[in-house]
Amino acid sequence: MEPDPAMSRRLPAEWEPQDGVLLTWPHDGGDWRPWLAEVDGVYVELARAITARERLLVGVRDATHRAHVERLLGQAGVALERVVLATVASNDSWARDHGPITVFEHGRARLLDFVFNGWGGKYEAALDDRIVAELARAGAFGATPRERIGFVLEGGAIESDGAGTLLTTAACLLSPGRNPTLARADIERRLGGFFGLRRVLWLEHGALEGDDTDSHIDTLARFCDPSTIAYVRCEDRADPHFAGLEAMERELHALRDAHGAPYRLVPLPWPAARFGDDGRRLPATYANFLVINGAVLVPTYRDGADQRALATLGACFPGRAVVAIDCLALIRQYGSLHCVTMQLPAGVMAPL
């Protein structure tokens, strides 16, 4: 696959310089209601870690919700001068999937606003699908252009090395609830045009119980640099994940980087099984980390493997601080740290 030279588009890697991060703050009108106080605490810790290094754009439901969020952040000593609050209606809080995906076109940031249909129609998402447009109308992105695209795609479904390679899963992008009229080759061509890609790497195996995204790549395998992939590995043969993740590991070993060399593969620890009140297994994964300016934020689960995960990812991102964020509350709704955040690369946000 060769990008169209006239497009001059590039999908940046997450570790490139950022203006800030987008959060859509949970509220009592959604599925978080039973655990809202606990999840508020997770968001406060995210806000604290992010504003120590860059800006934060927060979508709030209404004036009452805005006052609530301002009070929480103020009480926690968060740097409010680095926080932009924007009133926007929302169904849920998964900013990774309803937020904008930024490309650089001729070196300038451009926001791609894909259709978000609740992971293939599983959940109501009409409000979330309008969030990027509403934030743009509110001036949150300044003069950065927004392009609405009639193609279903979530940010958690794709991983970019910043140099023209995209990693994804067939289970997600080929699921019938997203773009059912398009074959794999059609989807690959469209991704190439949207993002200026040279190649798309597909994983055919790998899934986490409790994950209702149809195997988002950000729960399974992540670029740490253009030649390194960190991925989840299950070493317990009695665990139902073992066979699928072992098959995924074999696929990763068969992949080659842009220079034709094998990737440096870094296995991440496997946390102990956690279950929801209904007995459903929760998708705890250390692959759901977020890279920001000067740091990597790593989800933890009050698990014996937490410290090993922190050390492993710290070695993958030398020179960056490693910040643990307790995400046990987030997996109650089947996502984690990366799922609730969307980085906004340098050049996206309106200037102060």
Read off the tokens for 304: 């014996």
Query: What are the φ and ψ backbone dihedral angles of 340, each rounded to 5 degrees?
Result: -95, 5
| Cβ neighbours for 26, distance < 8 A, ≥ 6 positions apart | 32, 36, 39, 40, 43, 92, 93
**Which of 224, 234, 316, 339 is labelled catalytic?**
339
> Using an 8 Å Cβ cutoff, are 263 and 165 in contact?
no
Is residue 234 annotated as a catalytic residue, yes or no?
A: no
Read off the tokens for 45: 């810790």
SS3 256: strand
Q: 349: which DSSP letter?
A: S
| Cβ neighbours for 163, distance < 8 A, ≥ 6 positions apart | 13, 198, 226, 258
Strand order in the sheet with 9-10: 9-10, 101-105, 108-115, 146-152
**DSSP per position, 129-154:** HTHHHHHHHTTTTTT--EEEEEEE--
Instruction: Identify any residues that bridge with 239 across adjacent strands, giving them in sequence order.
Output: none
Q: 276: which DSSP letter?
A: -
Q: 351: which DSSP letter?
A: P
Which residue numbers are catalytic? Answer: 339
